[in-house]
Every structure is written in C-alpha cells, then in structure tokens.
C-alpha cells in the first residue's frame, strides 16, 4: 500500500510540475465574488498607439479611485490591458488569453472596427458584456445583444458633416472629397460618405486611401490637386491626419478641412502645428480643459493620483475612456450585490437620461438601443494653444 501511495504522490508531482492542472472549484467569471476583472485590448505600440493609449490610462485611474473608496458592493475592480498592435491576429490571441486564462467578467475599450468584427461571434457565444470603442453602426444597428457603445457613430458624424455643409453653411456646388485608411474603419467612412453625397445629388470628388502608419502623404495630396476639392473630410487617426495636413500645406492644396472624431485629438494639433489652422472636426466627448462639472472631477481625481502633471493636457481619448468608465460603473452599481453578466446587461438597458456631467451628452439605453448617445459637437482648432474650441451645442442626425 505504501508503494502505491508513493507512486501516486510521485505521479501528482510530475503532473503539477509539467503544467497539467486539476479541475478545482473556482470562481465563476460570469458571477465574480471578490474581484471584477475587466479586459481591455488596445493598440499600445502599433500605428494607432497615439490614439488608443490614453483611454487605458483613464480606465486604470478611474477604477483605482473606485477601489480606494471600497470598490463596488465590496468587490475590487482589476483592469487587465493587452496590446494588439492594431492587428486582428494579436487581437484574437489577446481575447483568448483574457477569457480563458484571466477569466475576465467583461470587456471595454476594444480598439479597431475590424478587430471587433472578428470577435462578434465569440462574444455572442460566450455572452460576455462588451463596451466597445469602435462606433460603427455595424455594432448597434441592429442591436447586438452583448455590445454597447457611446457617442455618435462614424456614420452619424459624416451625416452631420454633410448636413452642416449643405444646410447650415449653405455651401454652393461643393466638391467634397474623403481621405481615409484602407481598414474597416476607413471602409465604413467611405460607404457613409458616398451615401451622403448621393443623398444630396453629389458625387465624391475623391476617395483617397492613406495608411494608418504613413509618414508622408505627398502622392495622395498631388492626386487631390488634380481634382481640386473644395472640402475634404479626414476620416483618419491623429498621426495620419497630421501627416496629411502638413503635406497638404507643403504642396499648396487649398480646401476646407473637416474631420471625424479621431482627428479631433489634441496630439494631432501638436503634430500638425500651423498646418491645422482652420481645421474643424466633430467629437462626442469633452476635452480635458473644458469647464464642465465632469471635467473638473476628472482633473481633480487624475492629478491626485498623478501629481506634478498639472500642465499636461490629456488627449480627448482620455475623456472618452473616463466617460466609458462612468457608464460601466453605473451599470455595475445598479446590478447590485448579486453580480452577474446578464444582470449587467439589464442594468445598462435600464439607464435613461443618465447625467454625464458634460463629458458627453446624457446616456439612454434600452433593450433595442445599445448606443448610449448619438450626439456630437463641432470643434475648431486653436493651433496657438493646441486645443479645440466647441462651435456648436450637442447635435445629432435627423431622424
């Protein structure tokens, strides 16, 4: 008997040290008892890192403050961030790691339309709540059961831009062009711009592709000079926008420039400099330096945890990440002590006119409405100060 016992113990030790795990009673990730694990997948080191890195910083700071105040119904929040370098294969690998190794309760701030599209079947299969960064209508119209987002979609923004040009500014005989990447994000912009042009009896003067990691845009600018657009919509990231505007100024391309949300980022103005003069853009979120109740709270908490950074202007992506945290936090609070994924979904769907304190327009969800808000503002670049000034109130597309 002793020999058998020794052999059994030896076999157990071999299995343990070879990495084989025994099935044990562990916490159900769908119903966490002590820790709420939130997975975040963004581009931290790739071509859109300047755009995506501010949000995880906001998320970590926000929930550190929540944890220091006792957590949510006694549970602490743990943020686990993975880098996908803006690629679908790395994104899928990060998702699997977060789901099967880290056993996260939910996801938020997933960057990249193509990346998110690749995972929709998995989210539906696993029934994991996801607060998405990408605001393409693909994810909200029709409603997907486990996906939520905030702010105007890309399609909303482009519709608002066309309406502003044609019906507000009363531009006569506009020649409107588009500059965008050859990604899912860019393809959404192209479809929407072409649809809006057709709606107003126009044709896009140009639909130019610029890579997210481009370091120059000379050839693209010269192609545009041949068709001489009066207005150009930049559906790009901050660094790509800056590259394009600098080369447009260099080669003398004269047009009225407007951008969608990811051009309306303070880092773009820092990179573009004087080339961004008279640049206009839309965005669904306030800026770090705005004077609203919400931004005052953001600054106070952020500087408490990051003293000595008072002069640093956090990019608008930081405010977007913070806004998402407010909505996630409210949903988790409403779910109560018996936290479960399905309860969080119901809690979000019950939010009506939730006050965002000026960080965005107020939030309303429903069983058939997982887009928290459809509103954005127009902003104009102030190159000297490196900031954007709002030139409109919150506006949305016409129903």
Q: Which residues contact 162 (CB under 8 A, 6 or more apart)?
A: 176, 196, 197, 199, 200
Claim to verify: residue 237 and residue 107 sit in the same structural domain:
no
Q: Which residues contact 374 (CB under 8 A, 6 or more apart)?
A: 152, 153, 156, 396, 397
Claim to verify: residue 264 and residue 385 sit in the same structural domain:
yes
| From 106-120, 170-184, 370-384, the region with the lowest mean pLDDT | 106-120
| From 8-17, 103-112, 166-175, the region with the lowest mean pLDDT | 8-17
What pLDDT does residue 138 have?
86
Question: How does DSSP assign 95-131, residue by residue?
Answer: HHIIIIIS--SEEEEE--HHHHHHHHHHHHHHT--EE
Claim to verify: residue 297 and residue 231 sit in the same structural domain:
no
Q: Band of the pLDDT at 132, cuts 50, 70, 90?
A: confident
Closest CA to 295 of 269, 323, 270, 267: 323
Q: Is the pLDDT of residue 180 over 90?
A: yes
What are the b/e assignments for 38-54, b being 16+ CB within 10 Å? bbbbbbbebbbbbbbbb
Q: Band of the pLDDT at 3, cuts 50, 70, 90?
A: very low
Q: Band of the pLDDT at 169, cuts 50, 70, 90?
A: very high
What is the span of the domain harbouring residue 212? 154-283+379-390
Closest CA to 76 of 41, 40, 32: 32
Claim to verify: residue 264 and residue 383 sit in the same structural domain:
yes
Q: Band of the pLDDT at 22, cuts 50, 70, 90?
A: very low
Q: Is the pLDDT of residue 10 over 80?
A: no
What pLDDT does residue 48 have?
86
Claim to verify: residue 105 and residue 246 sit in the same structural domain:
no
Asked if 232 and 256 count as a contact pair (C-beta separation under 8 A), the reply is yes
Is position 213 within any domain? yes
What pLDDT does residue 113 have?
84
pTM for this one?
0.88
Is position 23 within any domain? no
Q: Residue 153's CB: how many other CB atoms inside 10 A?
A: 26
Using CA atoms, how far residue 36 sits from 26, 93, 208, 350, in Å, is 14, 21, 44, 21
Q: Residue 331's CB: how many other CB atoms inside 10 A?
A: 25
Q: Is the pLDDT of residue 128 over 80?
A: yes
Q: Is the pLDDT of residue 153 over 70?
A: yes
Pairing of strands 76-83, 130-132: unpaired
Is position 257 within any domain? yes
Q: Residue 341's CB: how many other CB atoms inside 10 A?
A: 19
Q: Is the pLDDT of residue 17 over 50?
A: no
pLDDT in tens, 372-393: 999 999 999 999 999 999 999 9
Q: Is the pLDDT of residue 14 over 50?
A: no
Is position 3 within any domain? no
Q: Which two tokens stand for residue 233?
A: 């919509």
What pLDDT does residue 54 have?
93
Asked if 94 and 82 count as a contact pair (C-beta separation under 8 A), the reply is yes
What pLDDT does residue 26 have?
61
Q: Is the pLDDT of residue 15 over 80?
A: no
Say how far apart CA 7 and CA 284 lie, in whole Å: 65
Domain count, the chain: 2
Claim to verify: residue 192 and residue 203 sit in the same structural domain:
yes
What pLDDT does residue 114 have?
87
| Phi, psi dihedrals of residue 2, rounded to the nearest 5° | -65, -40
What pLDDT does residue 19 have?
41
Say how far apart CA 106 and CA 110 lie, in whole Å: 11
Claim to verify: residue 294 and residue 257 sit in the same structural domain:
no
- What CATH number did the domain enclosing 133 receive? 3.40.50.2300
Claim to verify: residue 256 and residue 202 sit in the same structural domain:
yes
What pLDDT does residue 242 have?
97
Residue 70's SS3 state is coil
| From 102-111, 151-160, 224-233, the region with the lowest mean pLDDT | 102-111
What pLDDT does residue 301 have?
98
Using CA atoms, how far residue 383 sits from 160, 232, 252, in Å, is 24, 19, 19
Claim to verify: residue 241 and residue 385 sit in the same structural domain:
yes
Claim to verify: residue 330 and residue 250 sit in the same structural domain:
no
User: What is the Cα Rg of the chain in Å?
Assistant: 23
Average per-residue pLDDT for the chain:
91
Q: Band of the pLDDT at 4, cuts 50, 70, 90?
A: very low
| Phi, psi dihedrals of residue 96, rounded to the nearest 5° | -65, -40
Asked if 384 and 158 count as a contact pair (C-beta separation under 8 A), the reply is no
**Average confidence (pLDDT) over 239-266:** 96
Is position 14 within any domain? no
Claim to verify: residue 386 and residue 242 sit in the same structural domain:
yes
What are the b/e assignments for 112-127, b being 16+ CB within 10 Å? bbbbbebbbeebeeee
Q: Is the pLDDT of residue 241 over 60?
A: yes
Is position 12 within any domain? no
pLDDT in tens, 313-350: 999 999 999 999 999 999 999 999 999 999 999 999 99
| From 18-27, 96-105, 378-387, the region with the lowest mean pLDDT | 18-27
Is position 5 within any domain? no
Asked if 209 and 180 count as a contact pair (C-beta separation under 8 A), the reply is yes
């Amino acid at each position: 008997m002793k020999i058998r016992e020794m052999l059994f113990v030896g076999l157990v030790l071999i299995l343990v040290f070879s990495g084989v795990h025994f099935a044990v009673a562990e916490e159900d990730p769908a119903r966490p008892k002590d820790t709420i694990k939130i997975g975040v997948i963004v581009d931290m080191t790739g071509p859109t890192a300047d755009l995506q890195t501010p949000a995880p910083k906001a998320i970590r700071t926000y929930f550190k403050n929540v944890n220091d105040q006792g957590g949510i119904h006694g549970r602490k929040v743990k943020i686990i961030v993975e880098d996908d370098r803006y690629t679908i294969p790395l994104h899928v690998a990060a998702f699997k790691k977060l789901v099967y190794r880290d056993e996260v309760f939910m996801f938020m701030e997933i960057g990249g339309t193509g990346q998110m599209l690749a995972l929709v079947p998995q989210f539906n299969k696993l029934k994991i709540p996801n607060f998405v960064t990408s605001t393409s209508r693909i994810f909200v119209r029709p409603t997907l059961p486990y996906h939520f987002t905030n702010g105007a979609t890309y399609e909303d923004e482009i519709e608002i831009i066309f309406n502003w040009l044609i019906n507000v500014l009363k531009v006569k005989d506009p020649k409107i062009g588009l500059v965008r990447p050859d990604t899912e994000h860019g393809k959404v912009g192209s479809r929407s711009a072409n649809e809006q042009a057709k709606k107003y009896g126009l044709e896009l003067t140009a639909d130019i592709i610029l890579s997210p990691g481009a370091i120059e845009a000379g050839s693209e600018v010269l192609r545009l000079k041949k068709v001489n657009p009066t207005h150009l919509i930049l559906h790009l990231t901050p660094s790509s926008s800056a590259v394009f505007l600098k080369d447009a100024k260099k080669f003398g391309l004269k047009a009225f420039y407007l951008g969608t949300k990811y051009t309306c980022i303070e880092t773009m103005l820092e990179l573009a400099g004087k080339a961004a003069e008279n640049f206009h853009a839309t965005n669904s979120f306030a800026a770090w330096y705005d004077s609203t109740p919400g931004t005052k709270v953001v600054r106070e908490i952020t500087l408490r945890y990051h003293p000595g950074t008072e002069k640093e202007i956090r990019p608008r992506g930081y405010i977007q990440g913070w806004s998402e945290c407010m909505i996630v936090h409210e949903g988790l609070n409403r779910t109560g002590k018996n936290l479960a994924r399905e309860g969080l979904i119901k809690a979000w769907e019950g939010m009506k006119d939730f006050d965002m304190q000026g960080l965005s327009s107020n939030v309303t969800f429903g069983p058939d409405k997982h887009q928290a808000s459809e509103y954005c503002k127009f902003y104009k670049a102030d190159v000297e100060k490196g900031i954007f000034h709002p030139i409109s109130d919150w506006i949305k597309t016409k129903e």
